[in-house]
Amino acid sequence: MEVIISPTPDEAGKLAADAISELLQRNPEAVLGVATGSSPLIIYDELGRRVAQGSLSLAKTRAFMLDEYVGLSADHPQRYRNVIQDEFVDKVDIDPAQVSGPDGLAVDLSSACEAYERAISDAGGVDLQILGIGTDGHIAFNEPGSSLASRTRIKTLTGQTRRDNARFFSGDIEAVPQHCLTQGIGTILQARHIVLVASGRGKAEAVHQLVEGPVSAMWPATALQLHPHVTVLLDTAAASRLQLASYFIETYQGKPSWQGF
Query: Interface with ligand F6R by CB under 6 A: which residues?
Result: 35-39, 66-67, 132-134, 138-141
| Smallest separation, CB 35 to ligand F6R (Å) | 4
Q: Which is nearer to ligand F6R, 60 or 163 (CB)?
A: 163
Report the amino acid identity of residue 110: S
The catalytically annotated residue of 46, 67, 87, 103 is: 67
Q: Which is nearer to ligand F6R, 5 or 185 (CB)?
A: 185
Question: Would you call 45 a catalytic residue per the annotation?
Answer: no
The catalytically annotated residue of 87, 103, 127, 138 is: 138
The catalytically annotated residue of 136, 193, 208, 235 is: 136
| Smallest separation, CB 258 to ligand F6R (Å) | 31
Strands across the sheet containing 99-100: 2-6, 230-235, 193-198, 128-131, 31-34, 62-65, 99-100
| Smallest separation, CB 73 to ligand F6R (Å) | 19
Give the 3-state secondary structure of residue 101. coil
DSSP string covering 6-61: ESSHHHHHHHHHHHHHHHHHH-TTPEEEE--SSTTHHHHHHHHHHHHHTS---TT-
Q: Which is nearer to ligand F6R, 57 or 135 (CB)?
A: 135
How open is the CA angle 163-35-188, to the nearest 5 degrees? 105
| Smallest separation, CB 132 to ligand F6R (Å) | 3
Question: Would you call 122 a catalytic residue per the annotation?
Answer: no
Neighbours of 41 (CB within 10 A): 18
| Nearest alpha carbon to residue 128 among 196, 54, 36 | 196
Question: Would you call 143 a catalytic residue per the annotation?
Answer: yes
Q: Which is nearer to ligand F6R, 83 or 249 (CB)?
A: 83
Helices (H), ranges, 70-144: 80-87, 109-122
Write down the number of H helices and E strands in the chain: 8, 10
- Number of residues in the chain: 261
| Nearest alpha carbon to residue 5 among 207, 245, 256 | 245
Q: Which is nearer to ligand F6R, 19 or 66 (CB)?
A: 66
Query: By beta-carbon distance, which residue lies closest to ligand F6R?
Result: 132
| Smallest separation, CB 254 to ligand F6R (Å) | 30
The catalytically annotated residue of 87, 127, 143, 164 is: 143
Question: Would you call 205 a catalytic residue per the annotation?
Answer: no
Active site residues: 67, 136, 138, 143
